[in-house]
Structure 1
C-alpha cells in the first residue's frame, strides 16, 4: 500500500477528479457565453440526437478500427522477423530505431508527412515522370489513416515483437518435429501463444487513433470531422463546453467498452480448451 499510494494518488488527482468534473459539466448550461452550473439533460439530448454526431461517431470508429487492423497486419511480418530471424544485436538496433520516432513531437512528424503527400511533394514528384498522375492523399480519409499509422505503427511493432519473443521455443520446435510447416506453425502455435500481446497491440492502436486530433486536422482536412474535431468545434461555437464534454464523455465510455471487450477476448479461454 505504501509503494502503491503515490501512483494511486496521482491517478485520483489527475484522472478521476477531472473525469468527475467533466461528467458534471455535461449537465451545465451556457448563458450569454458563460458557463452556468445546472442539472439539465439538454446537452445529452442535443448531442446524442444530432445527425452530425452520429456521422462523426461512426466515421471515427470506422477509421480507428481500420487503422488498428492495418497496423496489426503490417506490423506482424516486421515483428516476426525481429523476434525470430535476426541476431540479438540487430534486434536491439531495430528496436532502438522504432523508439526514435517517439523522441520527436508527433505534430512535427505529421507536418513531415505532409511534405511527402502534398501535390508538389516528394511522392508526386517521383510519380510525375512515370506518367502515373498525381496521388491525392491530403484532405482525404486516406490521409487521416496515414497519420494514424504514423502515430501507432511503431508502437504496434514493438508490442508485437515483445509478444512473439515470449513464445516458448519449445512449442515451436515441437510443432516442427510433428511435421508442421512454417505457416501452419505461425497460425496454430505462435499466434495463439502470443494472442494477448497481439490483441493488446491492436487495442492500443485503436485507442490512440480514436482520440487523435492532429492527423484528421492536418492530413484529413477536418472533413468529415472526427469526434476530436467535433469537441473543438463545440468549444469554438459559442464557447459550449458542456456539449463538448458530452462528446468527450461518449468517447471515454466507448474506449472503456472497447478495452473491456478486447481484454475479455485476450484473456478469455478458447473453445476446445479446459
Structure 2
C-alpha cells in the first residue's frame, strides 16, 4: 500500500520535477559549464579553464558593480516596503472588504502593461522639462536632474516592485486575527505600539517574503538602471550585456550570472529561514 501511494505521489510530482530539470537545473548547469569555456576568434570552444573566473573576479569594476547592485537593490526594496506598509495597513484594517478587493485589482492592472512601457513613461515625468519639474517650478523649485541618476534607477525599481509589495502586505495583514489587536488596545496599547508589538510580529512572514520579492526583482532588473539610471554606474545585468558585446565573451558573462545566482540563493534561503523561524520558547 505504501509503495502504491509513493508511486501515485511521484506520478503527480513528475511534471513539476521534469519542468524544474528542463527549464531550471539544465540551463544552470549549462551556464556553469560555459563559464569554463574559452573564446578564440570570437567563437566559444569547450574547455576546462579557470581563466574567465580569474579575469572577472580579479577586476575591480566587477566588484564595484556587484556592491552597487547589492546596495541599490536593497535600498529600493527597503523604500518599497516602507511606502507600501501604510497603504497595506489602511487597506487591511481601515478599508471595507469590497474596497480592498477593488484596490488589489487596481494594483494588479499595471502588470497587464509591459514594464518597458511603464519605464519609458517616466521619461515624460522625470525629464528636466517634464511633469514633475513643471509642478516644482510653480513653487519656485527646480529644475532638477532626475534622469540618468541613482534616483531614476530607484524610481524604475519601485515601478516594478511597489504594487507587488502592497498586495503581499495587504493579504498578509488582512489575515491577522482582529481579536488580538482588540485585546492589545483593551490592555492600553497605543496605535503605534500595537503596530510594532502585534501587527508586525504576526505578519513577519509575509513582510519578509514581500521584501525578498522586491529585492530579487530589483537585483536582476536591467531596464530601470539602463533607461532611467543611464548606466552611469553599471549594475550586474548591464555588466553581463556589456561583456557579451565585448568579443562575444559569453563565458565571462556566465561568471557574472553565477555570482548573481549565488547571491540570490544565499539571500533567499536566509530570508526564508528568518521568515519561518519560530520565536524562542515556541513549540
- 2:4 corresponds to which residue? none
The alignment partner of 2:44 has SS state of: strand
How big is the shift at 1:172?
Answer: 1.1
Distance 1:265 1:105 in 2: 33
- 1:134 corresponds to which residue? 143
Counterpart selection for 2:21 from 8, 12, 27: 12
- 2:203 corresponds to which residue? 194
The answer to whether 1:246 aligns with 2:261 is no
* Number of corresponding residues: 274
How big is the shift at 1:131?
Answer: 2.1
Structure 1 length as normaliser, TM-score?
Answer: 0.97
Distance 2:192 2:13 in 1: 44
- 1:64 corresponds to which residue? 73
- 2:6 corresponds to which residue? none
- 1:102 corresponds to which residue? 111
Structure 2 length as normaliser, TM-score?
Answer: 0.94
How big is the shift at 1:269?
Answer: 2.6
Counterpart selection for 2:60 from 48, 51, 60: 51
Q: How does 1:202-213 map to 2 (within 5 A)?
A: 202-213=211-222
After TM superposition, where is structure 1 displaced by more than 6 Å over at least 4 residues in a row?
none
Q: How does 1:81-100 map to 2 (within 5 A)?
A: 81-100=90-109
- 2:173 corresponds to which residue? 164
Cα RMSD (Å) = 1.1
The alignment partner of 1:207 has SS state of: helix
The answer to whether 1:29 aligns with 2:38 is yes
Structure 1 portions without partners, runs of 5+? none
- 1:175 corresponds to which residue? 184
Deviations 1:43-67 (A, max 9, x none): 1111111100010000000000001
Structure 2 portions without partners, runs of 5+? 1-9
The alignment partner of 2:224 has SS state of: helix
How big is the shift at 1:223?
Answer: 1.3
How big is the shift at 1:8?
Answer: 2.0
Distance 2:258 2:163 in 1: 28
How big is the shift at 1:273?
Answer: 4.7
Distance 1:176 1:211 in 2: 42
- 2:155 corresponds to which residue? 146
Distance 1:130 1:185 in 2: 39
The alignment partner of 2:120 has SS state of: helix
Deviations 1:60-79 (A, max 9, x none): 00000001111111100000
